[in-house]
Amino acid sequence: MIPEPVTRMLADDLASTALGIRLLDAGPGRAAAAMRITETMVNGHGIGHGGYVFLLADTAFACACNSHGPVTVAAGADITFVAAVHLGDDLVATATERTVYGRSGIYDVTVTRGDEVVAEFRGRSRTLR
């Protein structure tokens, strides 16, 4: 069962919705989201623009860190691109909570194309008062 705070947050997330990002699963401290690389997401080198891969990972991260209820935002994030993505690729971002300390948290997100890892993302969260 998808936590209600996640459902509510995504209902208002026009950026993710406009890109066709779909929530596959979510629970306490975890989430998985999917997106297909479309022709408008391909850069001048003919490969998927890294910003879209980051956005997919960030959406899964947001769902995982908001699954506990209080409004939580990104305090920072970084990504390592492991392999290029291409037009038509179906990507899945799987976010996992690593630790929560006070109002802060650390989450890892793995982005895959089938069984192949294409990016690794680490997000740092902060719960708002």
**Nearest C-alpha neighbor of 55 from the set 72, 75, 79:** 79
pLDDT digits 0-9 by tens, 104-127: 999 999 999 999 999 999 999 999
**Nearest C-alpha neighbor of 122 from the set 56, 76, 53, 87:** 76
- What is the domain count for the chain? 1
Whole-prediction pTM: 0.95
Helical (H) or strand (E) element with 121: strand 116-127
Per the structure, the complete domain to which residue 18 belongs is given by 4-127
**What DSSP line would sit under 83-102, residue for residue?**
S---TT-EEEEEEEEEEEET
Using the predicted structure, report yes or no on whether residue 1 has a pLDDT greater than 90.
no
| Residue 37's CATH number | 3.10.129.10
pLDDT digits 0-9 by tens, 39-82: 999 999 999 999 999 999 999 999 999 999 899 999 999 999 99
